Structure 1
Amino acid sequence: MADKIIFTGTTHVKGGPDGYARSTNDVLDLALPQPHPAAENLFAAAWSACFIGALELAARQRKIKLPANPEADTTIDVLMNDGGFFLRARLDVQVPGIDPVTARELIDTAHKICPYSKAVEGNIDIELNLV
């Protein structure tokens, strides 16, 4: 069976002092004058949004009704050593109204579901925290 495309996001980015990022569906339109650390903020926002969706899916799969919307603060660090640049990530996830053991299980399951988590797993240091 062929892979089924669920959604495609396309964004055009221009560099330089008049730089910008614009999605073809007009959802995203940001000024990105250089130098600007936007890539890390955009990656953190995209990963967080995907992760929250994966967490909600994990809850539905377990037939758990979330009493409040989950939230995530995602930090992307760019580090440098003799080998060059690399990333590190920390996701601080809130799952209000759910006991800590269940919330932790949902976070761990979401990490296995989320395509962004899958893309970086084993490639960067990731810290997943229940806060």
Structure 2
Amino acid sequence: MAIQQSDVLYTAVATAEGGRDGRVATDDGRLDIVVNPPKEMGGSGAGTNPEQLFAAGYSACFQGALGVVARQEGADISGSTVTAKVGIGKNDDGFGIIVEISAAIPNVDAATAKSLVEKAHQVCPYSKATRGDVTVTLA
């Protein structure tokens, strides 16, 4: 089910110059960074890259979804962290990404942590956006 324009709560705007070897800036000036391909992809590795930016956004969003689920379940996730590893590689259509999400939730047992992470994956907007097109593993 797609959201409608009237349901949008916030819209982020970023503009790129030079593609993967250039600059990205947001319209509000809060983010203005140099992007370069990583050395593994023939770049200088001097700046950040789109995969790092995606990993940063996904991990933050997933942590937020984990918080929503934890509140619903009455679980204590204080001190928790979410790490997103984003890989890029060749696929049948050119290039694709793969994601591994891992969460460390110190105040719950392993079964509860697993359940919370699986439920967060169902409600996280990044997880929803990538479903069906990106392989996402949970840990």
Shorter-normalised TM range: 0.7 to 0.9
Match of 1:43 in 2: 54
Preserved CA contact (<8 Å) 2:20 2:50 = no
Match of 1:25 in 2: 28
1:65-110 C-alpha deviation (Å, 9 max, x unpaired): 3232x21221111111454212111112111211111111110111
Q: Helix, strand or coil: the match of 1:67?
A: coil
For these two proteins, the number of residue pairs brought into alignment is 127
User: What RMSD over aligned residues (CA atoms) do the two structures have, in Å?
Assistant: 2.2
- TM-score w.r.t. length of structure 1: 0.84
Q: How does 1:38-117 map to 2 (within 5 A)?
A: 38-68=49-79, 70-81=80-91, 83-117=93-127
Match of 2:130 in 1: 120
Gaps of 5+ in 1: none
The list of structure 1 runs, each at least 4 consecutive aligned residues, that deviate by more than 6 angstroms after superposition, is none
Q: Helix, strand or coil: the match of 2:116?
A: helix
Indicate the larger mover: 29-38 or 8-17: 29-38
Preserved CA contact (<8 Å) 1:15 1:33 = no
- TM-score w.r.t. length of structure 2: 0.80
Alpha-carbon distance in structure 2 between the residues aligned to 1:5 and 1:76: 27
Q: Helix, strand or coil: the match of 1:123?
A: coil
Alpha-carbon distance in structure 2 between the residues aligned to 1:46 and 1:30: 15
Between the aligned residues of both structures, percent identity stands at 32
Gaps of 5+ in 2: 38-42
Alpha-carbon distance in structure 1 between the residues aligned to 2:78 and 2:132: 33
How much has 1:23 moved relative to structure 2? Answer: 1.2
User: Larger RCO: Structure 1 or Structure 2 (Cα < 8 Å, ≥ 6 residues apart)?
Assistant: 1
